[in-house]
Structure 1
Amino acid sequence: AAPRAVLLTVLLALAVQIVWQASRPPARARAQDLPPAPALATLQLAALGDPVALSKATMLYVQGFDEQAGISIAWRDLDYRKVQGWLQRVLDLDPRSQYPLLAASEVYGSVSDPARARLMLDFVYARFAEDPNHRWPWLAHAALVAKHRLHDLPLARRYAAAIREQATGANVPAWARELEIFIAEDMNELDSARALIGGLLRSGQITDPHELKFLSERLDALNAAQKP
């Protein structure tokens, strides 16, 4: 049994605590900044011999960072330099992974901020050269983003030219190899378009009869358009 004075003191303290908590403004969730990506050596050590699993876990971490407890962060508000650093680390851990390049070209590259979009597209372009025959889809998508969203035809053509010159595997479809031709036509560079078609026809890369016929007809149409 406690003295009555002690009980009254405890009850008073409890009442004060309740009133004080009720008068406080509600707590507001605050967004946390994406930290810089760790050094590759640090991640390799943390992988414990399984870099592919850590690569997937890292990608999930980056992908889910825009959804934090009690708050949602718009992609355009993320620090894209840091996002690029994390995507780079995911690819370093698992070079066969396609998801970081897909995310860069189709997710983060779709923001309305041209500067951020260009950063993602250039990341795809830089990493494309490491494995062109498997990474060409993401550079092709980057070329289309540059053309239709950024309205930057020279940039789109640079990406398309890289596909034509470097992605020479049998799995690369005709439309990807010929993408530069259509962009050159959009730029009204008909001489360049004719030269590109002629180069493809002479290269021996094209063996499909339907593709050869299509390119020949396209070349004839360009030649006819050039005549006065």
Structure 2
Amino acid sequence: MRARPFSVVPQFALLLLGIGLAAQLVWTVLLPRSAAEVENLPPPPSLAMLQVASFGEPIGFTKALLLYLQSFDDQPGVVAAFRKLDYPRMQTWLERTLQLDSKTQYPLFLASRIYGSVGDPAKRRSMFDFVYQQFLLDPNRRWESLAFATLMTRHQLNDLYQAHIYAQALQQYATAPEVPSWAKQMDIFMLEDMGLYQQAIDQLDALIHGTEPIDSHELNFLQERMDGIKAKLAAER
């Protein structure tokens, strides 16, 4: 039997559905849980169901959803709780909140700085990759979380190649004037750390002689950086 679209469902039924979802959400947030129940984060409802439950107030409802998600780790033994969380399921929940309110920064803040701080390297990589994928959908709004993930990938996971991928994406896609220059220039430092000195020099040269205005302090910094990398390149020859 073919599934019916939401448009053919009576409005009173949608209203009851929304009330039920909202009530379940509030009840779950308020109900105390033991650490043994942390694994039981349920699968998220479909986006259509969440839109119904929001009653036309997606921003406020998104905040409630995020409180709901945090209730699964806001308890004694928080580090252990993070380790027990189903990360793919958590990522789907976070994705739902971004679909409801695309302007909110908080889901990616949680992903990069909270759920990305767990001691399990595989889970950290998974969460940082989630941040990267969501960044690509709205680079000029979501650059900050990817910049943080880039630093953590480089200095805590010691994965220079993956950090280079993230930094390269920041340089290519986060192009709005309000994105700070340090975020756009992160790939230069990754290239230097990888020993790809000529590529780093080429990027610095393009910045110094490019069409975008640069203040004198930043220009001096870039020139000094290029001179330092040129010295490293010369020492290799």
Q: Is the TM value for this pair above 0.5?
A: yes
Q: TM-score range by the shorter chain?
A: 0.7 to 0.9
1:164 maps to which residue?
Answer: 171
2:156 maps to which residue?
Answer: 149
Q: Please say which of residues 46-55 and 190-199 is displaced more in the overlay.
A: 190-199
Rounded to whole Å, the distance in 2 between the matches of 1:146 and 1:75 is 18
Deviations 1:42-85 (A, max 9, x none): 100111111111100000000111246x9865201100011001
Native 8 Å contact 2:192 2:229 kept in 1: no
Rounded to whole Å, the distance in 2 between the matches of 1:123 and 1:149 is 17
Q: CA deviation at 1:203?
A: 3.4
Mark the CA change 1:38 to 1:198 in structure 2 (over 3 Å): closer, same or farther: same
2:221 maps to which residue?
Answer: 214
2:46 maps to which residue?
Answer: 39
Mark the CA change 1:67 to 1:177 in structure 2 (over 3 Å): closer, same or farther: closer
State the one-letter code of the partner of 1:83.
Answer: M
Tell me, which stretches of 5 or more residues in structure 2 are unaligned? Answer: 1-33
Tell me, which stretches of 5 or more residues in structure 1 are unaligned? Answer: 1-27
State the one-letter code of the partner of 1:110.
Answer: S
1:76 maps to which residue?
Answer: 83
Q: Which residues in structure 2 correspond to 1:26-105 (within 5 Å)?
A: 30-31=36-37, 33-67=40-74, 74-105=81-112
Rounded to whole Å, the distance in 2 between the matches of 1:135 and 1:206 is 24
Q: CA deviation at 1:206?
A: 4.5
Q: Which has the larger radius of gyration?
A: 1
After TM superposition, the score normalised by the length of structure 2 is 0.79
State the one-letter code of the partner of 1:215.
Answer: L
Mark the CA change 1:54 to 1:189 in structure 2 (over 3 Å): closer, same or farther: same
After TM superposition, the score normalised by the length of structure 1 is 0.82
State the one-letter code of the partner of 1:60.
Answer: L
Q: CA deviation at 1:34?
A: 0.3
- The ranges of structure 1 where at least 4 consecutive aligned residues each deviate by more than 3 angstroms after the TM superposition are 70-73
Rounded to whole Å, the distance in 2 between the matches of 1:147 and 1:190 is 18
Mark the CA change 1:71 to 1:140 in structure 2 (over 3 Å): closer, same or farther: closer
2:170 aligns to what SS in structure 1? helix
Mark the CA change 1:121 to 1:111 in structure 2 (over 3 Å): closer, same or farther: same
Q: CA RMSD in A?
A: 1.9
Rounded to whole Å, the distance in 1 between the matches of 2:213 and 2:204 is 11
Native 8 Å contact 1:143 1:159 kept in 2: yes
State the one-letter code of the partner of 1:54.
Answer: F
Q: Please say which of residues 43-52 and 192-201 is displaced more in the overlay.
A: 192-201
Q: CA deviation at 1:29?
A: 7.4
2:51 aligns to what SS in structure 1? helix
1:20 maps to which residue?
Answer: none
Q: CA deviation at 1:30?
A: 4.1
Rounded to whole Å, the distance in 1 between the matches of 2:210 and 2:138 is 22
Q: CA deviation at 1:162?
A: 0.8
